[in-house]
Amino acid sequence: MKKTSTRLADGRELIYYDLADDTVRDAVDRRPLDATVTTSEIRRDALLGDSVAVASHRQGRTYHPPADECPLCPSEGDRLSEIPDSSYDVVVFENRFPSLAGDSGRCEVVCFTSDHHASFAGLSERQARLVLDAWTDRTSELSHLPSVEQVFCFENRGAEIGVTLQHPHGQIYAYPFTTPRTALMLRQVAAHKEATGGENLFDAVLEREQAGERIVLEGEHWVAFVPYAAHWPYEVHLYPRRRVPDLLGLDEAARTEFPQVYLELLKRFDRIFGEGEPPTPYIAAWHQAPFGALEEFDGVTRDDFALHLELFTIRRTSGKLKFLAGSESGMNVFINDVPPERAAERLREVASS
C-alpha cells in the first residue's frame, strides 16, 4: 500500500491509498473553494447522560446529484470533484459538511473505488484489503488527535438508509467522547467480569454462539453469526477469533482472510430477498475500544473490549422496511419481526455457489 497525503483547495486533507507503490499523485484541486465553515457543537443531555452533535451547516450538503455530477468520482476534464486526480484506488478526505469538527472531533469520507456504479460487495479481495488497511491507518492517525476519544468506521448503503450520494463510500467519525452504545457494552463487560471472577463477556458470547444454531459462516480467523437478541430483521456480527480491541490489533492472517469472509457476507445480504430485488440497504459498523480513559467502567481495560463489525439491514421482507416506531424510538425497546434463528438459516441458504 502506498499512502499519499495532499490538500484540497479549501485546506481539507485528502489521502490516496494505492495498490501500486509506484503510483504518483500530484494532481491539484482546481476548484475556487472558500475555506470550510462549520458550526458543529456537542451538547450534553442532562437526563440521558449522552451527547448530541448540533451541526446546522449540514443543511446545505450535496443531495442526490446526478451520476455525472457526483463529487466522489474522479475529476475529468472540466468536471471537477472532491478527488483532483483522474483515477484512484481508495481515497479518504475530510468531510466538507462534517457533523464533528475541531474540538468536537472529525469526520472523514472513505471512497472504496472510483467506479460510481460498483458496490463494496463487488470489490476484488485486493481492493477490500486496501479498504481495511485504510480504515486501520485512519484509526491510528485519528486516535492521536487530542480531541478524539473513539474512532468509528462505517458504511451506510441505500437510499432507505438515508444515503445522499450513491457512489460506493463510507465514513469515519472521530468522537470526542465514548459513544453511548460502547459505554453500554463496557458496563456489561465490567459487570460480567466482576460476577464471574474475571471472565470476558465478549469471549463468553462468542463461545456460546459458536456452539449454537445462529452461525452464518466461519473462517480460520473470523466468525459471523446472528446474535441471540438481534435488534434488526437481518443482523450479523463478525468477530475475529482472537480478541483484539481495535483494527490495529489484527494480525496479518486475520487481515488476509477478512476480505474473503466479509465480501461473502455482503453478497449473501444481496440475496436475502431473492433475485430481481433492489440491492439490500444496510449499515456496516466497526466497533472499536475507545482510546480515552476507562476509569468509569470499573476494572475494564481496552484489552477487555472485542473489535467486531455489525452488519444489518432495515428491510424486513420484500418491499417492506423495519421502521423505528413508538417502542423503538420512544423507549429504545426493539421489536424484531424475524426470529434470529430463521435469519441465520436464510443467510446460510443464500451462500455463494
Is residue 306 packed enough to be buried (19+ CB in 10 Å), middle (13-18) or exposed (0-12)?
A: buried
Q: Going by C-beta distance under 8 Å and a sequence separation of 6 or more, which residues neighbour residue 53?
A: 40, 41, 42, 99, 100, 104
d(CA 192, CA 211): 20
Please state the separation of Cα 199 from the chain's center in Å: 28
Phi and psi, residue 72, nearest 5°: -100, -5
Here the cell at position 315 is 428491510
Using alpha carbons, list the distances in angstroms from residue 234 to 158, 190, 202, 228. 15, 28, 21, 12
- What per-residue string of b and e applies to 208-232 under the rule 16 or more CB within 10 Å gives b? ebeeeebbbbebebbbbbbbeebbb
The residue count of the chain comes to 353
Here the cell at position 28 is 491539484
- Is 57 an annotated catalytic residue? no
Beta strands in the chain (DSSP E): 2-7, 13-18, 41-44, 51-54, 90-94, 106-111, 150-157, 169-175, 215-218, 222-225, 234-240, 282-287, 308-313, 315-317, 320-321
Which of these is catalytic: 57, 64, 116, 169? 169
> What's the CA angle centered on 84, arms 285 and 66, to 5 degrees?
65
**DSSP secondary structure code for residue 79 in this structure:** B
> What's the CA angle centered on 134, arms 129 and 139, to 5 degrees?
125
Is residue 152 packed enough to be buried (19+ CB in 10 Å), middle (13-18) or exposed (0-12)?
A: buried
d(CA 63, CA 70): 10
- For 267, the enclosing helix (H) or strand (E) is helix 252-269
* Active-site residue list: 169
